Amino acid sequence: MRTRLSKSKRREDILRKARQLFLEQGLADTEMEDIRLACGVSRGGLYHHFSNKRAVLDAVVEGDVAGLADALNVDGASPILVLLEVGSSHRGANAGVLSALQTPEEKLDYLSSLEQAFSSILMDALVARMGEFVRNDINAEHVAELFMTINTHINRREILGQWSSAQAAGFAATSLEALAPLLQSPEELAPIIADLKHKASS
């Protein structure tokens, strides 16, 4: 007998099982029917929540980015440090559904979803937390924009195979060295920069 879930719980269940299928089968080999069967819902029930697989991917990525935004709420923690620790694969963070992507088209779809989620979810959270961590004479929103622009560039180059992981780590280290003087406590970035330089030379 099918378990009746609330609308929000059903949506969460669909996304959890879709993520699992993406990781196990790959995005290309996962169809909406696979997701429907895994969730035990009717076609109408599935399409009530998501019109197509791209909409499911968008929502999965939004969930990942919302997790990053939530992580910024730690009192006293520099938002840049938090994002580097929880969101950077170069620092050992979970890459999410990235491993499920095989074709250039899938990777472009993922990047589009990621960049939209950064803009709609993460940017405001980052700006709200940045003020107390940048120098008084520096516009916190500008620093947040710089950080996110750099991060987006690194993601795009590495995910599309234009940079190796070492090249991406090297660029990240250089970028953080450029951003550090804008912060009240630039020395906090020193161990991360050193770690990224080590990865870049490995």
Query: pLDDT by residue (tens digit) across 115-129?
Result: 999 999 999 999 999
Q: What is the mean pLDDT of residues 17-42?
A: 94
Please tell me the number of Cα atoms within 13 Å of 196 on its side-chain side: 22
Average pLDDT over residues 152-173: 95
Q: What is the pLDDT of residue 1?
A: 44
SS3 136: coil
Supply the pLDDT for residue 74.
79
Categorize the per-residue pLDDT at 110 as very low, low, confident or very high, splitting at 50, 70 and 90.
very high
List, for residues 42-67, the tens digit of each pLDDT value.
999 999 999 999 999 999 999 999 99
- Identify the pLDDT of residue 89: 64
State the pLDDT confidence band at 96, using cuts at 50, 70 and 90.
confident
- pTM, rounded to two decimals: 0.87
